[in-house]
Amino acid sequence: MPQITPTSQVIIEAPSLRDFCTQLLVAAGVTAEDAAMVTDVLVEANLRGVDSHGVARLPHYLRRIRHGSIEPRPKITLERVSASTALLDGGHGLGHLVMNRAAHHAIAIARESGAGWVAVRNSSHCGALSHPGLLIANAGMIGMAFTHVDPMVLPHGAREPFCGTNPLCFTAPGENGQALCLDMATSVTPWNSIENAILEGVPIPLGWAVDAEGCDTVDPSCVRAIYPVGGYKGSGLGLLIDVFCSLLSDGPYGPDIPRMYGDLSQRRLLGGLVGAIDVSRFVPESRFRRRVSEMIARWGRLKPAEPGGRVLYPGEPEMLTRVERLRNGIPLGGALVEQFNQLAHEYQVPPLTTL
């Protein structure tokens, strides 16, 4: 997933970043248990190199809690509508918490019926979908997760946006902690990469986005829409994901979704869809895991296009980045660290400890 590189960076150890973010959320009224869970999702995104969906979004969530559009202690309810399906109302809580609950319910339903599908409504921005996807994979199941956002992406052949960056995640468990994990937006980059570029004052690559006149731009502050990934293919996927996340849960879609960076007092009303397939209903789980790992190994033995290169399986770049950042620390943009220091003063928590 394309990311931006700040001109000024500070290195933070993962445990320090977790403690700091958890304290901020607790100070904002989130329970200690829920704050730790949300922080894990955010820091894991940074560890995996998906900085667009990591801790850089925390100031925005805190602003929305303050303005009342995100409930710090939501009432999340589940309605079981059939043997294999359920509808989860997120109570306008933090989306990370809502999708985590949806994934756990999907797993429980799949253990009963072989497959579990949970449609989500009344949620908010949920961060990286790899979290619910890998929760399901770690339970020995095939995982699927979808969500949507407000209009940010140009449909193929259009001059104005309709759908959001509408991501998808597919996961499958292997052996010894391995898992296939495809977590991707249906746009060439997430909108939050644009927001990170604005915060850090750096340009974006040509070909990511267009300005108000529909012309390509490298100035993130001028961006009005992002290109879909793969032209008509990403465009079509984005629209169908809106069907999964809006029409099943009877929520708003595309142009009708309240904007993430618009009125902070307006609830987002976001939807989602999380699915789990119990592979043991088809083949023994141990055999499935072994064959996934064998597939990964054969994939990795392919002749690379570049001398000395490697052919990486979906999810492997993120795992390699995670190993490196656990060892050497997580890089954060200097402007973000300044923002965190201001929040520490405001919420009366200890400042962020840097290396």
Could you tell me the pLDDT band of residue 197, with boundaries at 50, 70 and 90? very high
Helix (H, G, I), strand (E, B) or coil at 223: coil
Active site residue 96: no
Tell me how far CA of residue 72 lies from CA of 19, 64, 126, 303, 350, in angstroms.
18, 10, 14, 50, 21
Q: Residue 205: its pLDDT value, please? A: 95
Q: Rounded to the nearest 5°, which phi and psi values hold at 271?
A: -115, 180
Could you tell me the pLDDT band of residue 2, with boundaries at 50, 70 and 90? confident
Could you tell me the pLDDT band of residue 353, with boundaries at 50, 70 and 90? confident
Q: Which amino acid is at 334?
A: G
In this predicted model, what pLDDT tens digit does every residue of 219-267 receive, in sequence order? Answer: 999 999 999 999 999 999 999 999 999 999 999 999 999 999 999 999 9
Measured from the Cβ of residue 355, the count of other Cβ atoms closer than 10 Å reads 10
Could you tell me the pLDDT band of residue 3, with boundaries at 50, 70 and 90? confident
In this predicted model, what pLDDT tens digit does every residue of 101-131 receive, in sequence order? Answer: 999 999 999 999 999 999 999 999 999 999 9
- The residue from 53, 125, 131, 148 that is catalytic is 125
Mean pLDDT of 320-334: 96
Mean pLDDT of 73-85: 98
Q: Residue 167: its pLDDT value, please? A: 97
- Percent of the chain topping pLDDT 70: 99
In this predicted model, what pLDDT tens digit does every residue of 146-162 receive, in sequence order? Answer: 999 999 999 999 989 99
Q: Residue 320: its pLDDT value, please? A: 97
Which of 340, 354, 339 has the alpha carbon at shortest distance from 23?
340
Tokens, residue 341: 């220091």
Helix (H, G, I), strand (E, B) or coil at 120: strand
- Decide if pLDDT at 79 tops 90: yes
Mean pLDDT of 14-18: 97
Could you tell me the pLDDT band of residue 1, with boundaries at 50, 70 and 90? low
Could you tell me the pLDDT band of residue 8, with boundaries at 50, 70 and 90? confident
Report which of residues 195 and 46 the model is more confident about.
Answer: 46
- Percent of the chain topping pLDDT 90: 94
